[in-house]
A and B are shown apart, each in its own frame.
Chain A
């Protein structure tokens, strides 16, 4: 039975489409942290890819490995305690993990940029925002201090910060949360990179501001035709902007799908649980569904499928065999492009 099913890599690579190599491709990435309590396996064989202009949403709970994967791509993992024992991260076909440090540094910020969750702590508190924005131009393009400042003002205008000229010398703490996140975005956009990784860019913001910031991000992405990896735990944010979704659990991708198909027909019990736990107006009065239990301890992930202790459909095989990410098909066997599930019972989940 497993012979007819395709392996995880194939399923994902097919999703990447056929117009040459993808912008970024993560292959069988493993990340572990060596701590005094043992080795925490944060990422266990992740595969995904992003093309130019495409938005990949990586969905998962805290500790699912979604942020660690992003940090590994960015090359900003703390090593040690972090370690990448295995895997490849290909940027335009070149493995960044084998690059020299200096070569890699030149990609950071210029080709691949990152937006962090909490802009207040992610911006340097003792340097003016103008300085921090201008730094990108000074370091990567060798601009003078004066030109860099002019560019910084331009950028702040670009992300619609009012009175940019007057505020360029202000410090991060003098801006509101939404404005600070715009500065983060401006900093990431500064050199018009090919790929942006946004790690929960709106989690720390008010709901009203969240939408504005997401819209701005989506607009800039379209304009510059950039690839975007959007890391989030919020299914609501994903629906509007993403093209495809990868759901992570305990350091693995448990399901991949084009965005709307995932919402319509999840092929993994974990995804189904996530979708069911969104409050919905049409189910007013009913008890809200919640996935029982806690995310697994990464020091000792459960044997078999890591989700098995929390899964309502778990059977014996789930406690012994790790399910591979397999191609999801219709009942008649036609392949669903870009869809994969790492569940022994994906058929029952999607069709049942």
Chain B
């Protein structure tokens, strides 16, 4: 168990300035004796005052709810098409939460229902890839950063090799080989190529944390490798990794949609925004709504994740304040 993130472990920079010259110019940091703030405490203070943070947080909660319980949000069925009655019907924007709210697509299916039911695949891919790369890339990055030497050399060279391969291009090649592309296949393919980013971030932040004075102090006091790694280095190296992972999550969702759009990602019967956008491209001139809603929903989801990660990063980075 990592210990609670107190300011002694996390805020070497923010504490030291109590009596420094900066106290006069910038009392926001360590303004006076008696009320030091921790890094996370400070970050939370910053976050609470950011409208973008709240926008993204609310969006995310909503999206997660839709992904978990799509049936709560619509009665319409996403796969039932009625070509005779509903072929390319325009949206009825006043019919809130009705099947025809966003209109019907070229196969007479409710676009609203498809948008709702498509959420799960995107969120699953995003969360799945992020979890996989964070565990795998994070572990390798930590090992490389902490132990250095030949372990670092080997891991770094492997990272270089994978990094040389453009992410989208590589996943196209991999997924092209699979006839049946289920969600877990897409997750595996994206994670296989995506772990290097996290590994690099983790490696450099572990190296930074390792060189911090409090780690030297802990070592001087006789702390063992495990203790130093898990109680001192890891908690401090985690912040940048979490931020990058959150932003990457949005990028993975975007990548999945792009691949599905190219016909190389998820395939029917899975419901995915990317597939719907791909299907819609021939109809766009006369019926832009067929593309507008899945594309809008997709962008909104990516926006929520990227904005959240972004807000957290800004809040964690005292340099930007």
Question: What residues of chain A have their CB less than 8 Å away from a CB belonging to chain B?
Answer: 33, 35-38, 40, 42, 61-65, 67-68, 78, 81-82, 294-295, 297-300
Q: Check A42–B25 contact: CB distance below 8 A.
A: yes
Q: Check A63–B31 contact: CB distance below 8 A.
A: no
Q: Check A62–B23 contact: CB distance below 8 A.
A: yes
Interface residues of B in 24-43 (CB under 8 A from A): 24-28, 31-33
Q: Check A42–B32 contact: CB distance below 8 A.
A: no
In angstroms, how far is the closest chain A Cβ from the Cβ of B53? Answer: 16
Question: What residues of chain B have their CB less than 8 Å away from a CB belonging to chain A?
Answer: 18-21, 23-28, 31-33
Q: Identify which of B18, B21, B25, B27 contacts A37 (C-beta below 8 A).
A: B27
Q: Could you list 5 further interchain pairs (A-B, Cβ under 8 angstroms) beyond the known A63-B21, A298-B31?
A: A35-B28, A35-B31, A40-B24, A42-B25, A62-B19
Q: Check B19–A294 contact: CB distance below 8 A.
A: yes
8 inter-chain pairs at a CB distance below 8 angstroms, sorted by A residue, are A40-B24, A40-B27, A62-B19, A63-B19, A63-B20, A78-B25, A298-B31, A299-B32
Residue of B nearest to A117 (CB): B21
Interface centre among A37, A63, A67, A294 (most CB of B within 10 A): A63
Q: Identify which of B18, B20, B25 contacts A33 (C-beta below 8 A).
A: B25
In angstroms, how far is the closest chain B Cβ from the Cβ of A333? Answer: 38
Interface of A is mostly: loop
Which B residues lie within 8 Å of A78 (CB)?
25
Q: Check B27–A299 contact: CB distance below 8 A.
A: yes
Residue of B nearest to A78 (CB): B25
Q: Check A63–B24 contact: CB distance below 8 A.
A: yes
Residue of A nearest to B23 (CB): A63
Q: Check B27–A62 contact: CB distance below 8 A.
A: no
A38 to B27, CA, bound (A): 9
In angstroms, how far is the closest chain A Cβ from the Cβ of B33? Answer: 5
Residue of A nearest to B24 (CB): A63
In angstroms, how far is the closest chain A Cβ from the Cβ of B51? Answer: 16
Interface centre among A40, A42, A68 (most CB of B within 10 A): A40
Which A residues lie within 8 Å of B23 (CB)?
62-63, 295, 298
Which A residues lie within 8 Å of B24 (CB)?
33, 40, 42, 62-65, 67-68, 298
In angstroms, how far is the closest chain B Cβ from the Cβ of A262? Answer: 23
A63 to B17, CA, bound (A): 11
Q: Check A294–B33 contact: CB distance below 8 A.
A: yes
Q: Check A33–B27 contact: CB distance below 8 A.
A: yes
Q: Check B32–A297 contact: CB distance below 8 A.
A: yes
In angstroms, how far is the closest chain A Cβ from the Cβ of B315? Answer: 13
A299 to B20, CA, bound (A): 15
A62 to B23, CA, bound (A): 8
Which A residues lie within 8 Å of B19 (CB)?
61-63, 294-295
Residue of B nearest to A42 (CB): B24
Which B residues lie within 8 Å of A62 (CB)?
19-21, 23-24
A130 to B25, CA, bound (A): 32
Which B residues lie within 8 Å of A81 (CB)?
26
In angstroms, how far is the closest chain B Cβ from the Cβ of A281? Answer: 28
Which A residues lie within 8 Å of B21 (CB)?
62-63, 67
Q: Check B33–A299 contact: CB distance below 8 A.
A: no
A36 to B28, CA, bound (A): 7
A300 to B31, CA, bound (A): 10
In angstroms, how far is the closest chain B Cβ from the Cβ of A243? Answer: 25
In angstroms, how far is the closest chain A Cβ from the Cβ of B45? Answer: 8
Which B residues lie within 8 Å of A300 (CB)?
32
Residue of A nearest to B45 (CB): A36
A82 to B27, CA, bound (A): 12
A68 to B31, CA, bound (A): 16
A67 to B31, CA, bound (A): 17
A67 to B26, CA, bound (A): 13
Interface centre among B20, B25, B31, B33 (most CB of A within 10 A): B25
Which A residues lie within 8 Å of B26 (CB)?
33, 35, 81
A334 to B18, CA, bound (A): 43
A208 to B21, CA, bound (A): 24
Interface centre among B24, B25, B32 (most CB of A within 10 A): B24
Residue of B nearest to A77 (CB): B25
Residue of A nearest to B19 (CB): A62
A40 to B78, CA, bound (A): 60
Residue of B nearest to A250 (CB): B24
A280 to B31, CA, bound (A): 33
In angstroms, how far is the closest chain B Cβ from the Cβ of A91? Answer: 23
Closest 10 pairs (CB-CB, A-B): A297-B32, A63-B24, A40-B27, A35-B28, A62-B21, A63-B23, A42-B24, A35-B27, A294-B33, A299-B27
Which B residues lie within 8 Å of A82 (CB)?
25
In angstroms, how far is the closest chain A Cβ from the Cβ of B256? Answer: 40
In angstroms, how far is the closest chain A Cβ from the Cβ of B24? Answer: 4
Which B residues lie within 8 Å of A299 (CB)?
27, 31-32
Residue of A nearest to B32 (CB): A297
Which A residues lie within 8 Å of B25 (CB)?
33, 42, 68, 78, 82
Which B residues lie within 8 Å of A40 (CB)?
24, 27, 31
Residue of A nearest to B27 (CB): A40
A35 to B25, CA, bound (A): 9
In angstroms, how far is the closest chain B Cβ from the Cβ of A174? Answer: 24
A299 to B28, CA, bound (A): 10
Which B residues lie within 8 Å of A63 (CB)?
19-21, 23-24
Residue of A nearest to B21 (CB): A62
A14 to B269, CA, bound (A): 92
A269 to B165, CA, bound (A): 70
Q: Check A297–B20 contact: CB distance below 8 A.
A: no
In angstroms, how far is the closest chain B Cβ from the Cβ of A121? Answer: 13
A295 to B21, CA, bound (A): 11
In angstroms, how far is the closest chain B Cβ from the Cβ of A236? Answer: 19
A299 to B32, CA, bound (A): 8
Which B residues lie within 8 Å of A33 (CB)?
24-27
Residue of B nearest to A200 (CB): B21
In angstroms, how far is the closest chain A Cβ from the Cβ of B19? Answer: 6
Interface centre among A38, A68, A297, A299 (most CB of B within 10 A): A297
In angstroms, how far is the closest chain A Cβ from the Cβ of B50? Answer: 13
In angstroms, how far is the closest chain A Cβ from the Cβ of B244? Answer: 27
